[in-house]
């Protein structure tokens, strides 16, 4: 993962033409493979092989669930197999010793399964650390800042999958299940005293109220939120307790983190890994988006 993170960070120096050339190459490779190996895309994109992205028919999550077996390029993977596999899986399991399986929360409908091969999983993991490119790192040559993550420990949730993968004595990390009683979460955070706190935006607001009420006593140097919208009201609630140390990220089970907050530029998109087919206007030469 660290090697992959270094590789991704080198892309921050790319010019806009370099970024667009990379996007064009990777998108062409993706479409070529899909048209060659996916029965679904051979029909769904019939007549669109050379069409620009904004002209392609939209694949909804409902369509993906309905046609999952025809979409995937590995015939050994079926929706029925994944439906049976996920309820009994452990967070550090690899399906067929090849794939990490994560399942969406289903907030926009029924849950959907996402599979990552090893190289893809390394990229997804690295994406969660790219916010440091915009806000600076808390790490020093000998400093390993204590981190606390308050998120779902449900085995098929992407946060649990990532936590199981990066678990290490070299990285001092406390993982707390958001489903635990709030009093227990507060007690463990008080004992751990995290330097960096990562959680959902709503939980950051809850913890801010616990700190204000005098039950929580921590002094994080940075708070990073993901998975939910960090609204202005929620941001203000957190900042009123801990100061201007909260930064939001935009991510999803389908790929990891796609954008991170930058104090100077607002939300900056990681366009080397995800492309905006609607043609939004860039705010940085390297591809940031407001």
May I ask the CATH class of domain 125-269? alpha beta
Per-residue pLDDT tens for 188-225?
999 999 999 999 999 999 999 999 999 999 999 999 99
DSSP-based three-state secondary structure for 171: coil
Query: For residue 6, what are the CA distances in angstroms to 9, 122, 127?
Result: 5, 12, 11
Q: Which percentage of the chain shows pLDDT scores above 70?
A: 86
Task: Calculate the average pLDDT of the chain.
Answer: 86
In this prediction, residue 160 carries a pLDDT of 85
Residue 241's pLDDT is 98
pLDDT digits over 98-144, tens only?
A: 999 998 876 666 788 999 999 999 988 888 877 676 566 655 544 66
The two three-digit tokens of residue 101, written as one number:
């399986």
**pLDDT for res 286:** 38
**pLDDT at res. 135:** 60
**Which residue intervals of the chain bear CATH 3.40.50.12780?**
125-269
Band of pLDDT at residue 244, cut at 50, 70 and 90: very high
C-alpha to C-alpha distance for 102 and 111, rounded to whole angstroms: 10
Residue 164 to residues 85, 130, 160, 169, 284: CA-CA distances in angstroms?
18, 19, 6, 12, 35
Residue 290's pLDDT band (boundaries 50, 70, 90)? very low
- Rounded to two decimals, the pTM is 0.80
User: CB atoms < 10 A from the CB of 127, how many?
Assistant: 23
Q: How confident is the model at residue 281 (pLDDT cuts 50, 70, 90)?
A: very low
Q: If pLDDT is split at 50, 70 and 90, which confidence band does 168 have?
A: low
140 and 84 Cβ atoms separated by less than 8 Å: no
User: Percent of the chain scored above 90 by pLDDT?
Assistant: 54
Q: What is the pLDDT of residue 107?
A: 66
* pLDDT greater than 90 at residue 259: no
Q: pLDDT tens digit string along 42-92?
A: 999 999 999 999 999 999 888 998 999 999 999 999 999 999 999 999 888
């Amino acid at each position: 993962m660290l090697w992959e993170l270094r590789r991704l960070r080198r892309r921050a120096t790319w010019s806009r033409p370099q970024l667009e050339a990379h996007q064009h190459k990777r998108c062409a490779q993706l479409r070529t493979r899909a048209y060659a190996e996916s029965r679904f895309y051979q029909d769904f994109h019939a007549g669109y092989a050379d069409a620009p992205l904004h002209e392609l028919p939209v694949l909804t999550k409902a369509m993906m669930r309905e046609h999952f077996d025809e979409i995937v390029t590995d015939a050994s993977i079926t929706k029925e197999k994944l439906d049976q596999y996920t309820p009994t899986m452990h967070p550090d399991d690899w399906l067929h010793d090849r794939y990490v399986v994560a399942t969406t929360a289903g907030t926009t409908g029924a849950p959907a399964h996402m599979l990552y091969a090893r190289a893809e999983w390394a990229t997804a993991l690295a994406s969660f650390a790219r916010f440091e490119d915009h806000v600076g790192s808390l790490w020093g040559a000998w400093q390993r800042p204590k981190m606390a993550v308050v998120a779902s420990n449900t085995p098929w949730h992407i946060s649990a999958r990532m936590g199981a993968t990066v678990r290490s004595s070299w990285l001092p990390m406390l993982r707390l299940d958001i489903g635990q009683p709030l009093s227990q979460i507060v007690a463990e955070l008080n004992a751990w005293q995290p330097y960096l706190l990562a959680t959902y935006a709503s939980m950051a607001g809850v913890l801010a109220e616990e700190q204000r009420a005098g039950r929580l006593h921590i002094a994080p140097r940075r708070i990073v939120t993901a998975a939910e919208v960090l609204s202005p009201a929620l941001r203000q609630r957190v900042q009123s307790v801990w100061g201007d140390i909260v930064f939001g990220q935009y991510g999803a089970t389908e790929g990891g983190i796609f954008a991170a907050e930058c104090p100077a530029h607002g939300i900056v998109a990681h366009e080397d890994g995800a492309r905006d087919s609607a043609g939004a206007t860039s705010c940085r030469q390297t591809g940031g988006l407001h």
